[in-house]
Amino acid sequence: MKGKPTMENTTMRGTMAEKALYVLKRYGLRAFAGRFMNFVFRTTRTQRLQYHLLTAYYRIFKRHLRFEFQNLRLPYFYHRYNLTYNNERAVEIPIARWFIDTYGPNRSILEVGAVLPHYCAFPHDIVDLFEKGETIVNQDIADFHPARTYDVIVSISTLEHVGWDDGSKDPAKLLRAVENLRTIAAPGGIILVTLPLGCNSYMDGLLKRGEMGLTKQFLMKRISYDNQWVEVDARAVADTTFVYNSPYPGANWLLAGIIEKA
């Protein structure tokens, strides 16, 4: 029985390039790309090359995909840094970009956790406890007291680490960090935090009990191995058991929270 087209099982004789051209002509570009990556994965141990190829594959063949968030249809974000095609970054970055595009123009912006500089550049201040950089202030967000306040604050997959796996072993520090964000925000300011669920049981408990002080919250659920997400009723936070890394890699649930300061 004839198998799926690969670089090996084609009956055409000739060089590897000739075989590849035959598969491309007979089965089309999409099938060729998938088979080519499978072939490369079996014949090389260079993970970096694999990641580059997978990112390119998603950018070319998945670029039409969109996910719904608050009546918007946002494009998934595929980038080789942190392999966003296979984790929650694929939806976090578009949500954060929408937030900044909506609330950020001509306003002061602070990012808590240096995530966005890896993917896009725009004028803003950054505080991060560990990551180094010329424009990054290395301080704990719970103890960060800048000389100014900020109109817009954004934090992507950062607060779940505060007090949990940052070396302090002080889970309650998370609430102090959230309260400090309120202090840092200017009057009329707005804060976006994205929180992967299932990796910090203390934080999950706060969210279930409504004790994080969020003005609004939105819940995203991963539904497939190829990293597609859907928005679900945020009230499901209260009675859902969140498991990290199951059934799909990374976060399977993501909460986007808004804090508005009067």
Residue 45 pLDDT exceeds 60: no
pLDDT at 51: 77
Indicate the angle between helix axes 16-27 and 29-43, nearest 10 degrees. 140
pLDDT at 258 over 60: yes
Length of the chain measured in residues = 262
Nearest to 141 by CA among 152, 151, 133, 153: 153
> For the segment 184-206, what is each residue's pLDDT rounded down to a tens digit?
999 999 999 999 999 999 999 99
Pairing, β 136-137 against β 253-260: unpaired
All residues at 6 or more sequence positions from 121 whose CB lies less than 8 Å from its CB, including other chains: none
Cβ atoms within 10 Å, residue 228: 17
CATH number, domain 66-260 = 3.40.50
Model confidence at 4, in pLDDT bands (50, 70, 90)?
very low
Q: According to the model, what pLDDT value does residue 50 have?
A: 72
Long-range contacts of 64-73 (CB under 8 A, 24+ apart): 65/228, 67/91, 67/94, 67/220, 67/228, 67/229, 67/230, 67/231, 68/230, 68/231, 69/94, 69/95, 69/98, 69/218, 69/220, 69/231, 69/256, 70/218, 70/231, 72/98
- Helix, strand, coil in percent for the chain, rounding step 5: 35, 20, 40
Q: Please state the rounded mean pLDDT for residues 199-223.
A: 97
High-pLDDT (> 70) share of the chain, %: 82
Radius of gyration of the chain (CA): 22
Q: Are 119 and 81 in contact (CB under 8 A)?
A: yes
Share the mean pLDDT of the chain: 88
Domain ranges for the chain: 16-61, 66-260
Residue 185 dihedral angles phi and psi, to the nearest 5°? -70, 140
259: which strand partners?
A: 191
Q: With bands split at pLDDT 50, 70 and 90, how would you rate the model's confidence at 19?
A: low
Give burial (CB, 10 Å; 0-12/13-18/19+) of 21: middle
**Which range, of 14-18, 104-108, 182-186, averages the lowest pLDDT?**
14-18
**How large is the greatest C-alpha to C-alpha distance in the chain, in angstroms?**
73
pLDDT at 20: 65
Q: Facing residues of 218 across strands?
A: 256
**Whether this model's pTM surpasses 0.85:** no
